[in-house]
Structures are given as structure tokens and as C-alpha cells.
């Protein structure tokens, strides 16, 4: 839902004025945190989005080790309480018109819930699927990316129900969504099971030694950051995400400013010459483009991560960087030639690899460092996401402003930006090529591993009839798939309907 939180910005910018914002031209950011007489600006509210992902990476790094010690179920419960409690605090902040409460409620406390909720299923699934780590983590992280497809339209629906002459309907929406999320998240948390120490799926033969890119040992979280491999994987993720976030942040304005009137059949009309009605029409088309990108982002998390089980994690990232380099370099030329469909296809593939990078990195970590502390190590490497969330948008936005200030036409301002993002991919490729298996000195002795595994699985380990070896698609499995799959299909159908505006 963090990805879909932008649906609240415009209604919240009218939370006092209701029909029209009560603007205060001289309002500073510090004053906006406590004002009760001025409506918030979208830029003030947007800091919640920044806090989400900075705190997500930080909390995953700080409490990843605790997750591995206490088990995923406890982490999942804490995640649910933080995320839903943050929504409740934000609702109180809206009622009292205190922006600082929203920053702390959703941004900080909710961000902690995001971090723990992000890594707890990944840590669990990797242990269940040692033979298909990419597929398992792809499904978990696809769920994180796909949440906005459900949450955003539901939020719009609820705000419409609660909207009145005295309220924009956001605080009521927060409370309802907090209650719904609490039920779903606690159901997921109490459903967690982890396999017994040393468990392997039937028919799977693990590697016999630490030779190659998949280790048989386990590295302690306290030692992982001391290795060169940790920082190389950190850099690989940071550079891949920086390039992808840069594209996401400029996707909608880029399509509108580059193609302008072409999007509505006015090939000779540039963006600056469009009238207000025409701009509204192309804004709808750009929204469809953004929705299409989100679908490819989500699908890429499963497809690319599953493919990595066959071709290896290192090779998968090599494809991301080499293919991405070609696509970023071709994008400006396709724009100059007016090839809208080609341009859209290029960016859909780029966003699939952005999502695929997120989903593949946990399996990459498990291959190099083992599975015992994969959640904790993954949490620390997620600080690369927080860093990329600053680098990508800042580079793109400042480059755009510099180009406009230099008098470059809107249709051309993104060329240098795309080439610069391609440079990120070159650096990422070099880092990926440098990754090698760890030396044996980094691995925990087997006896110590068994003690750690026994401590971390207490109370949530699966046994016999508890689901460890059934493999049946029985009624509980059908109900579980329905609870997750039907909302996702609802969100996908809405997004596709919006995306079709691109091709009308």
C-alpha cells in the first residue's frame, strides 16, 4: 500500500477547505507540521513516502537479526501492529490536523511495519524452497509490489463513501483499512511455519561443497558486512534500483512532454501548445502508462526471479544490466522517431527488470551467505534501496530542471538523463562481475548452526501432519489462494482497463 499512498495526497491537501485548499503562501515545512489553519501542501505530505522507504530499509537492517532469533511469526505480528497502528495514529493526525503525527504514524511506525513485513516471508520461504529460491522470493516480493493494485482502488472507493461536506473521507478510510489489514496480516503471521533444521524437499540434492555460486554453509549476520561480496551485492541492488526509480519517477511527465499531441492524434502539436482539455486527455493516457509499468514491475518480480533458478543469480543480473543498458540507450531514439508503442515496450521491459532485481537479490544473498541469517543480511542490504530512493529521483529531477533552465525543449530534456541512468547500469554490471564465492573462513561451524536453527524455529516449526510433506491442493490451500488471488485479479483488471487508453 505504500506504493499507492499517493491517492491520499490531493484529498489531504483539502482536509480543511474540503472543496478547495486553504493555502498559506508563506508556510514553511516546520510550520506545516503543526499548523491547524492552513491546508497541507502535496510536497509536505510526500515526505511520508520518503520516510516509508528510508525507514523500511533501516528497520529491516536493525531488526533483521532479531527476526532470525525470534522467528518469523513474532516479526509478522509486530509488522501488523506497526503498520495498522501507524494508520490509526495518522487518522488521529488528520482529525487534529497535525502533520507530524502522520509523519510519525505512517512514515516512521508504519515504515517499521513495512520493513519487518517485507523480510519475514522472504526469510521463511527461502528455507522452504532451497531448490527454487528465486521462485519463492519472487512470489513474496511480487505480493509487496502488487499490494498497491488492490489498496489504491479500495482507498479511492472508501474515500468516495466517506466523503461529505465536512470531510474528505481520508481519516475514516485509514481506520477501515487498518482494521482490514490487521485481519489479513495477522492471518498471514500466524500461518507461518518453518521447516525443521536440515530439511530438504523430496528429490532435491544440495551441492556437495562450497564450490560454485551456491554455498552449503552459513555466514553469521555479524560477519556478513565484513566481506567484499556483501558490499558488491549492495552496490548491485543500489545501482539497479536507482536506475529503475529514476524511470518510475519521471514516467508520466516524460510520456506527456515527449509525445505531446501524438498521444491524441495531433502529431504536430507539442506539449506546450496543448490546451487544458487536451492536457487532461493525455494525462489519462499517461496514467494508463504508469499502470502498465506497475504490472510489468510486479510480473517481473516473479518471472525474472524464477528464471534465476535456472540460469543463476549472477547471470540474471548480468542480463538486467546488459539488456537494460541497450534499452536505456534506445529509448531517446524511439522518442525522437515518434514510436510510441516501441517506447512503451522498452519501458515495460525496464520496469520488469527493476522488479526482478528486488525479487532476485534475496536468493542471491542465500546463495552466497547461506540461509540461516538470510533475513537479517537481506535487511541490511535493503539499505541500498533507501539510498537508491534518494539518488534516483534527485538525479532525474535536478537533471530535468538543469536542462529546462538551459532552454532545452521539453521533448529533449530526458535524453541526457537516460544516458546517465545507463551509466549506473554499467557500474552495476562491473560490480556483479566481481562477485565470487566466499572463502570457507567466513562460515559458521556446523554444530553452532544446529543450535541457532533450533532456537530460531521454536514454536513455529512444521511437523508431519502440520503441512511439511502433504503437497495437496486441498480446501485450505484453495481458500488461501482465493483470499490473495481474487483481490489481486481485481486490481489487475482495473489497471489493465486504465492502460488500454494508451492504445485507443
Residue-wise pLDDT for 315-340, tens only, equals 999 999 999 999 988 888 887 787 88
Do 167 and 21 belong together in one domain?
A: yes
Show the domain range for 383: 208-438
Is residue 290 domain-resident? yes
Is residue 81 domain-resident? yes
Answer yes or no: are the C-beta atoms of 278 and 261 closer than 8 Å. yes
Is residue 451 domain-resident? no
pLDDT for residue 211 is more than 90: no
Do 296 and 240 belong together in one domain?
A: yes
What confidence tens digit (pLDDT) does each residue in 433-455 have? 999 999 889 998 877 766 766 66
Do 140 and 97 belong together in one domain?
A: yes
What confidence tens digit (pLDDT) does each residue in 252-278 have? 667 777 777 777 777 676 666 777 777
Do 81 and 219 belong together in one domain?
A: no
pLDDT for residue 171 is more than 90: yes
Q: Per-residue confidence at 462, pLDDT binned at 50, 70, 90? A: low
Q: Per-residue confidence at 425, pLDDT binned at 50, 70, 90? A: very high
Within 10 angstroms of residue 68's Cβ, the number of other Cβ atoms is 26
The domain that contains 93 carries what CATH number?
1.20.1250.20
Do 251 and 286 belong together in one domain?
A: yes
Is residue 469 domain-resident? no
Tell me the CB-side half-sphere exposure of residue 384, using CA atoms within 13 A.
26
Which residue, among 240, 350, 243, 253, has the nearest Cα to 292 in the 3D structure? 350
Is residue 487 domain-resident? no
pLDDT of residue 502: 63
Answer yes or no: are the C-beta atoms of 249 and 396 closer than 8 Å. yes
pLDDT for residue 312 is more than 60: yes
Within 337-445, residue ranges assigned H as helices are 340-369, 374-381, 383-405, 415-433
pLDDT of residue 465: 47
Do 173 and 226 belong together in one domain?
A: no
pLDDT for residue 389 is more than 80: no
- Total domain count for the chain? 2
Kindly compute the dihedral angle of the four CA atoms of residues 29, 31, 35, 40, in this order, to the nearest 10 degrees: -20
Q: Which residues make Cβ contacts (< 8 Å) with residue 269, sequence separation at least 6?
A: 260, 261, 278
Is residue 504 domain-resident? no
pLDDT of residue 456: 58
Domain end point (choices 410, 438, 466): 438
Do 16 and 67 belong together in one domain?
A: yes
Is residue 447 domain-resident? no
pLDDT of residue 449: 67
What confidence tens digit (pLDDT) does each residue in 212-262 have? 678 888 899 889 999 999 999 999 999 998 888 877 766 666 777 777 777
Do 45 and 192 belong together in one domain?
A: yes
Cell 523480510 sits on residue:
119
Average pLDDT, the chain: 85
Give the whole-number percent of the chain exceeding pLDDT 90: 36
What confidence tens digit (pLDDT) does each residue in 414-424 have? 778 888 888 99
What confidence tens digit (pLDDT) does each residue in 6-36 have? 888 888 999 999 988 898 988 898 999 999 9
pLDDT for residue 370 is more than 70: yes
Do 176 and 252 belong together in one domain?
A: no
pLDDT of residue 243: 86
In three-state secondary structure terms, 277 is helix
Do 298 and 413 belong together in one domain?
A: yes
pLDDT of residue 12: 92
What confidence tens digit (pLDDT) does each residue in 391-407 have? 877 777 777 777 777 88
pLDDT for residue 497 is more than 90: no
pLDDT of residue 252: 65
Domain end point (choices 407, 423, 438): 438
Q: What is the C-alpha separation between 285 and 287, in angstroms, rounded?
A: 5
Is residue 496 domain-resident? no
Q: Per-residue confidence at 107, pLDDT binned at 50, 70, 90? A: very high
Do 319 and 390 belong together in one domain?
A: yes
pLDDT of residue 1: 83
Cell 540474471 sits on residue:
316
Do 255 and 290 belong together in one domain?
A: yes
Answer yes or no: are the C-beta atoms of 182 and 88 closer than 8 Å. no
Amino acid at each position: 500500500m505504500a506504493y499507492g499512498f499517493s491517492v491520499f495526497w490531493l484529498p489531504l491537501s483539502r482536509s480543511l477547505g474540503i472543496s478547495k485548499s486553504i493555502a498559506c503562501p508563506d508556510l514553511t515545512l516546520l510550520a506545516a507540521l503543526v499548523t491547524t489553519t492552513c491546508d497541507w501542501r502535496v510536497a509536505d505530505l510526500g515526505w511520508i513516502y520518503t520516510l516509508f522507504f528510508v525507514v523500511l530499509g533501516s528497520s529491516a537492517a536493525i531488526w533483521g537479526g532479531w527476526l532470525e532469533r525470534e522467528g518469523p511469526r513474532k516479526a509478522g505480528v509486530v509488522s501488523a501492529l506497526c503498520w495498522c497502528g501507524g494508520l490509526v495514529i495518522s487518522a488521529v493526525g488528520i482529525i487534529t490536523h497535525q502533520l507530524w503525527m502522520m509523519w510519525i504514524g505512517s512514515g516512521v511506525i508504519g515504515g517499521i511495519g513495512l520493513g519487518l513485513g517485507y523480510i519475514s516471508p522472504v526469510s521463511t520461504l527461502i528455507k522452504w524452497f532451497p531448490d527454487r529460491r528465486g521462485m519463492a522470493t519472487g512470489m513474496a516480493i511480487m505480493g509487496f509490489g502488487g499490494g498497491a493494485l488492490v489498496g489504491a482502488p479500495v482507498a479511492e472507493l472508501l474515500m468516495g463513501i466517506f466523503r461529505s461536506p465536512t470531510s474528505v473521507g481520508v481519516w475514516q478510510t485509514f481506520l477501515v483499512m487498518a482494521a482490514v489489514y490487521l485481519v489479513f496480516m495477522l492471518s498471514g503471521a500466524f500461518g507461518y511455519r518453518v521447516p525443521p533444521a536440515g530439511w530438504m524437499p523430496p528429490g532435491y540434492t544440495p551441492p556437495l561443497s562450497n564450490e560454485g555460486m551456491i554455498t552449503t554453509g552459513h555466514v553469521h549476520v555479524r560477519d556478513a558486512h565484513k566481506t567484499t561480496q556483501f558490499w558488491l551485492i549492495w552496490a548491485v541492488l543500489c545501482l539497479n534500483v536507482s536506475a529503475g526509480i529514476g524511470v518510475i519517477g519521471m514516467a508520466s511527465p516524460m510520456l506527456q512532454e515527449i509525445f505531446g499531441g501524438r498521444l491524441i492524434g495531433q502529431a504536430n502539436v507539442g506539449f506546450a501548445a496543448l490546451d487544458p482539455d487536451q492536457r487532461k486527455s493525455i494525462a489519462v493516457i499517461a496514467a494508463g502508462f504508469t499502470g502498465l509499468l506497475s504490472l510489468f514491475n510486479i510480473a517481473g518480480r516473479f518471472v525474472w526471479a524464477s528464471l534465476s533458478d535456472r540460469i543463476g543469480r549472477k547471470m540474471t543480473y548480468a542480463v538486467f544490466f546488459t539488456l537494460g543498458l541497450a534499452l536505456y540507450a534506445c529509448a531517446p531514439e524511439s522518442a525522437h522517431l515518434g514510436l510510441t508503442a516501441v517506447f512503451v515496450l522498452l519501458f515495460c521491459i525496464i520496469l520488469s527488470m527493476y522488479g526482478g532485481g528486488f525479487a532476485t537479490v534475496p536468493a542471491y544473498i542465500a546463495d552466497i551467505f547461506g540461509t540461516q541469517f538470510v533475513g537479517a543480511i537481506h535487511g541490511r542490504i535493503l539499505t541500498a534501496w533507501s539510498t537508491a530512493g534518494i539518488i534516483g529521483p534527485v538525479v532525474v529531477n535536478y537533471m530535468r530542471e538543469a536542462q529546462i533552465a538551459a532552454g532545452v525543449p521539453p521533448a529533449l530534456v530526458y535524453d541526457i538523463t537516460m544516458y546517465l541512468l545507463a551509466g549506473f547500469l554499467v557500474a552495476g554490471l562491473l560490480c556483479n562481475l566481481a562477485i565470487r564465492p566466499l572463502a570457507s573462513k567466513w562460515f559458521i561451524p556446523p554444530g553452532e548452526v544446529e543450535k541457532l536453527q533450533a532456537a530460531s524455529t521454536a514454536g513455529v516449526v512444521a511437523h508431519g501432519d502440520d503441512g511439511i510433506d502433504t503437497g495437496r491442493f486441498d480446501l485450505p490451500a484453495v481458500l488461501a489462494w482465493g483470499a490473495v488471488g481474487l483481490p489481486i485479479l481485481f486490481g489487475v483488471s482495473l489497471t489493465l482497463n486504465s492502460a488500454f487508453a494508451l492504445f485507443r
